[in-house]
Amino acid sequence: MTDSGLTEPRSGDGQGAVPTPWPTGADAGIDFIAGLHAGVCEELAGLAQRCIAGYSDDRPVSASLVRSRLTNALTGAPPVLAVARDGREIAGWCAVRRPEPGEQRARLWGPVVDPAARRAGLGRRLLQTVVEAVEWPLLTTDVPLDRDGATDFFTRSGWEVLDTITVLHGAPADGLLGAVTAADIEAPEAYVAVAARRFAGLEASFADSTWSRWRDDARFDPETLLLDPPTGSLLLALAQENATNSELLLAEVWAADEEVRRRLIAQAHILAGARQVATVRAVTRLDPTDFVAHGMRVTGRCRTFTLPGER
């Protein structure tokens, strides 16, 4: 499952912006935080929301979303989290979610830097701080191409492109929901594990843990996991909202063929209408044709990065 990335643009807000001075000492202003208590999650979410506003990865960010995406779902282990403060206010953060069983890489989130603190090297220092603190191979979250300087930021930091991802938006639809959901069947964990092995090619231990990871995501609801029992296919949809916006994210579509994929995508749009969300969003590494066929439009492309030697 993918989520759009948060990173520091190289350019400032507007022409001729003056960089905000930032301490230059080796550890000045940056501290590690051991846990994700409610106040920290609220701060991280608030800064993340400000940083993605207006870009292709703009979507609702809440404290519960931050907690669920940074915490290891199977062990409950918190992330490796570095936070920079300007006085009492958070100016930036960068985190690594620990790898789960079967994952080859840990997931890097950020760096996320307040617009007022950019162009002074804070993003690079946050990135370096967390990279040096972990021993796992790393994979970034999705870095939008429309984010000025984002690709250059990671490239100049020694990272390489691993994958390209398409982001699409669509509108909720009217109609009767005809799909079976995970709430309608017994032992959904077995169904999901089989689909993970068959359609996503996940190795056994990771496939068997897929249901647990999805179930513990703050956005997950069994009624938004759409199933096609005759073929063993599924579509995972995740509801996200904040004070001003809401969406249904089509996070995974594991299907036997084109007809089933398109039927599940159509059902997901009807589900979005029933849930009264504002937008349907899809993020896919595959050919987006099946989404476009349902009227969704491509709104952006993203890249994931990894460090050399970690493929």
For the cut 90, the answer to whether the pLDDT of residue 73 exceeds it is no
Q: What is the pLDDT of residue 110?
A: 92
Q: What is the pLDDT of residue 309?
A: 63
Q: Which of 21-35, 50-64, 162-176, 244-258 shows the lowest per-residue confidence on average (mean pLDDT)?
A: 21-35
Judge whether 112 lies within some domain: no
Judge whether 208 lies within some domain: yes
For the cut 50, the answer to whether the pLDDT of residue 15 exceeds it is no
For the cut 50, the answer to whether the pLDDT of residue 116 exceeds it is yes
Number of domains in the chain: 1
Which candidate, 164, 97, 130, 113, places its Cα nearest to that of 11? 113
Instruction: Select, from the ranges 97-106, 264-273, 299-308, the one with the highest average predicted confidence (pLDDT).
Output: 264-273
Q: Which of 84-98, 142-156, 286-300 shows the lowest per-residue confidence on average (mean pLDDT)?
A: 142-156
Rounded mean pLDDT, 203-221: 89
Judge whether 33 lies within some domain: no
Judge whether 226 lies within some domain: yes
Judge whether 247 lies within some domain: yes
Judge whether 287 lies within some domain: no
Mean pLDDT of the chain: 85
Judge whether 233 lies within some domain: yes
Question: In this predicted model, what pLDDT tens digit does every residue of 224-268 receive, in sequence order?
Answer: 999 999 999 999 999 988 777 899 999 999 999 999 999 999 999
Whole-structure pTM value: 0.78
Judge whether 61 lies within some domain: no
Bridge partners of 279? 247
The range of the structural domain enclosing residue 267 comes to 173-277
Percent of all residues in the chain with a pLDDT value above 90, rounded to a whole number? 59
Q: What is the pLDDT of residue 235?
A: 98
Question: In this predicted model, what pLDDT tens digit does every residue of 36-63 receive, in sequence order?
Answer: 889 999 999 999 999 888 777 777 888 8
Domain holding 183: CATH number? 3.40.630
